[in-house]
Amino acid sequence: MKNTSLDVTVNATVSFDDHCLDPDRFALTHLQRRVIWSICIPQTVFTVTLNIFILLTFLRNRELRQPQHFYFLNLAFCDFIIGSTALPSRLTLDLYGCWPAPFLFCRMYKILDWTVTSEAACTVILIAHSRYRMITSGAAFSAEETPSKVAGKIIATWLFNSFLYGPVQFFDVFSGISITGRNDCKTEFFQVNWVGNLFVITNNVLPPVMVLAFYAAIFHALRGRRRLLNSSGPPIATVSASVSKSTHAVVPRVKDDGGRLSRQTRTMLLLTGAFLLTSVPCGVCSILMFTDNSLGIFQTYLFLLYLLYGNSLVNTLVYTSKVPAMRTAVRRLVCLPDVWVHVHGGAATVVPLQQHGVTITERRTSVVPAKIK
C-alpha cells in the first residue's frame, strides 16, 4: 500500500509539472518571458521597498500628517499592495505557465487587483479635485479640508470599490459557469462581454476622463489667476510710505503663491500623465480582447498590464522627488544631511536643502584658511 500511494503521489506531481510546463500554456515566448523577468522583478522590489519608506516616513514625521498629504499616504498604501500582491501574482502566472496555488488565492488576488487599482485611480481623482478647490477657493477650502473629512473621503472610496469589485469576482458562483480551468487563474466576470466591458470602462477609462476634466478646469483657473496678476500694475508712487511698503510686501507674496501653485500643479500633472499613459491603453486593449481573441492582442494586453503596474513605482518616484515636504522627510529617514557644503576658492558655502516643506535659498559664506604649503 505504501508503494502504491507513493507511485500515485509521484505520478500526480509529474503530471502537474508537465501540465504547467506545456508550451501551449505560455502566452509569452521564451524571449518575452526573459524580458518581463529582467524588468518586472526589480520593479517589484523597488516598488515595495520605496513604498515601505513612504509609509515609515508618514509614521515617523508628524509634519506630514496634514490633510493634503493623506492622499499620498493612501496612494502609497495602494502602490504597496499592488507591488507586493498583484504584480508578483501576475508574474507567477505568466512566467510559470499556470497558477501553482489553490484557487482561493487566485480569487483573493483578483479581488485585491481590481479593488486596489481602482482605489489608486480614485485617489488620483481626489487629488485633482482637491487641487482644483485649492486654486479656486484658496484659504476657504484649506479651512474646510480637515483630517476627518479627508479620511472620510478615503474610507468612502475604499468601501465603494470593495462593494463594486468584490462580489463580481464570484460571478461563477452566481452563474454556475466557470471559465477558469485546471491550474489557471482568470477573471470570472469576463465570461459575459457586456459585464466585462462595463467594469473595464469603470476601472480604466472613466477615471482618466474625470481627471482630465478636473485638470482642464485647473488650467483654466490658473490662466485666469495669471491674467489677474499680470493686469495688476505697480503700486502708486504718491501713496504714503507705509501703504507703499505694505503693497510691495503683498504683491510678491501673491506671486509666490501663484508660483507655488503652479509647481504643485506640475507635480500633479506628472502623476496624472503617468496614470493616463498606463491606464487608458490597458483599458482599450481589454475591450479589444472581447472582439479579437488572438494571441497578439493578449500579449499586448499583458505588456500594457505590466506597464500599468509600473505606474505604482512612478507614483513613488514622483512624490518623493517633487513634493518638498516628502523629499525632506525621506532624506531624514535615510539619515541624509539637510545641508550641502560647496567649497570654491577658499570659501565654503553652506546651502540648506529643504526645511518644513519650504525651499531655503539663504546661503552663508565663510572663509576657509588655505593650507600651508
CA distances to 27, 38, 123, 175, 292 from 275, in Å? 26, 23, 11, 34, 26
Model pLDDT, residue 106: 92
Q: What is the arithmetic mean of pLDDT over 62-74?
A: 84
Domain boundaries, the chain: 24-336, 337-373
What residues contact 107, with CB distance under 8 A and at least 6 apart? 169, 170
Tens of pLDDT, residues 15-41: 444 456 565 567 788 888 888 889 999
Q: What is the arithmetic mean of pLDDT over 115-140?
A: 87
| Cell numbers found for residue 167 | 462580489
Angle subtended at Cα 35 by Cα 187 and Cα 98, rounded to the nearest 5 degrees: 35
| Size (the chain), residues | 373
CATH of domain 24-336: 1.20.1070.10
Mean of all residue pLDDT scores within the chain: 76
357 vs 78: CA distance, rounded Å: 24
191 vs 220: CA distance, rounded Å: 43
Q: Please provide the DSSP assignment of 157-175 as one string.
A: HHHHHHHHHSGGGGHHHHH
Model pLDDT, residue 79: 93
Model pLDDT, residue 97: 79
pTM of the full predicted structure?
0.76
331: nearest Cα among 350, 312, 355: 355
pLDDT at 63 over 50: yes
| Cell numbers found for residue 324 | 518638498
